[in-house]
């Protein structure tokens, strides 16, 4: 089965900007609020559609339903594609939020999943900031008091956004992105977000956006404390060196900085490739696919051979379901 590339689903939200077009080549219009490009999605609010080739116009849901052996290999029993892959352009603060874990998510919607997520920063302004977790020692009582008093900022673990950093945000972690950040996001296939605080802003209808303090408080793990960027683990596969950024129960993220061609080690599981920088071709037993900066490709689990041919130097994320 050939390598799949999907039509990006561009989402306009008021905190977005223009970098999805300007820096990643996504097809955006003339507005100034392009917030998310859903690269691989299997959600009621966004289903990826194959952009070209033998499966053109098929949705990811169709592929999971009809071609699960080829697409998902050892994970063929899954009813839904397990990962949601996006690019995000935060041009303003996103709301302060938290996602439930799997068990908590089912209490709100039996069809929903929890959301562990990870970010890889592609571009950041010098003063861009991220909220990742709470400061050490902040209890539920402290947090609720600060939330009521309008001083919640004092409880938040803020870190500068640095290009190349990867931040793994487990479910139940309070988080937010500040202005000036472009990133790649890997997450569980879930669209369940509870907003704690919206920095006193009004929505496009002039009303404050809905917040969910009760649900959020029920989800937060107050033992977690501050969440720091990951320390990449350096790995080698003979002459090719790469990094493992995240390994959790839901996804593994590897990063390849490369100039010379290399083979991916395949094992009856799909691979998601996100080309963060440069140009390359991926050659498999089924086809050759050109990748430019911002392209996301899905190698079906049935792929037996995949060679990456960089043109110059590249940065490539490889994502798999464990």
**Catalytic residue positions, numbered:** 195
Residues contacting 104, CB < 8 A, separation 6+: 114, 171, 172, 218, 219
First to last CA, the chain: 21
Residues contacting 221, CB < 8 A, separation 6+: 170, 172, 173
Length, in residues, of the chain = 322
């Amino acid at each position: 089965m050939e390598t799949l590339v999907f039509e990006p689903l561009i989402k306009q939200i008021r905190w977005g900007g223009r970098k999805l077009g300007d820096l990643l080549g996504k097809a955006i219009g003339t507005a100034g609020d392009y917030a998310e490009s859903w690269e691989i999605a299997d959600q009621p609010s966004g289903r990826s559609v194959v952009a070209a080739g033998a499966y053109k116009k098929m949705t990811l849901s169709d592929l999971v339903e009809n071609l699960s052996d080829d697409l998902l290999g050892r994970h063929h029993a899954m009813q839904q594609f397990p990962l949601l892959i996006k690019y995000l352009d935060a041009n303003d603060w996103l709301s302060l939020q938290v996602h439930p874990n799997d068990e908590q998510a089912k209490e709100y919607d039996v069809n929903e999943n929890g959301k562990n997520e990870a970010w890889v920063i592609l571009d950041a302004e010098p003063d861009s900031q991220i909220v990742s977790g709470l400061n050490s020692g902040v209890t539920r009582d402290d947090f609720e008091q600060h939330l009521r008093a309008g001083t919640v900022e004092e409880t938040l673990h803020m870190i500068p956004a640095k290009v190349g950093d990867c931040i793994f945000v487990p479910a139940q972690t309070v988080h937010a992105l500040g202005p000036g950040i472009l990133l790649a996001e890997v997450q569980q296939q879930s669209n369940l977000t509870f907003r704690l605080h919206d920095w006193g802003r009004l929505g496009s209808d002039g009303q404050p956006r809905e917040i969910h303090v009760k649900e959020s408080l029920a989800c937060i793990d107050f033992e977690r404390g501050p969440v720091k960027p990951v320390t990449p683990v350096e790995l080698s596969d003979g002459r090719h060196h790469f990094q493992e950024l995240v390994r959790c129960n839901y996804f593994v993220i590897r990063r390849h900085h490369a100039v010379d061609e290399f083979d991916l080690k395949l094992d009856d599981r799909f691979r998601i490739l996100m080309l963060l920088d440069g140009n390359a071709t991926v050659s498999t037993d089924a086809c050759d696919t050109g990748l430019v900066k911002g392209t996301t490709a899905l190698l079906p689990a049935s792929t037996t051979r995949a060679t990456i041919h960089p043109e110059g130097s590249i940065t490539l994320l490889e994502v798999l379901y464990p």
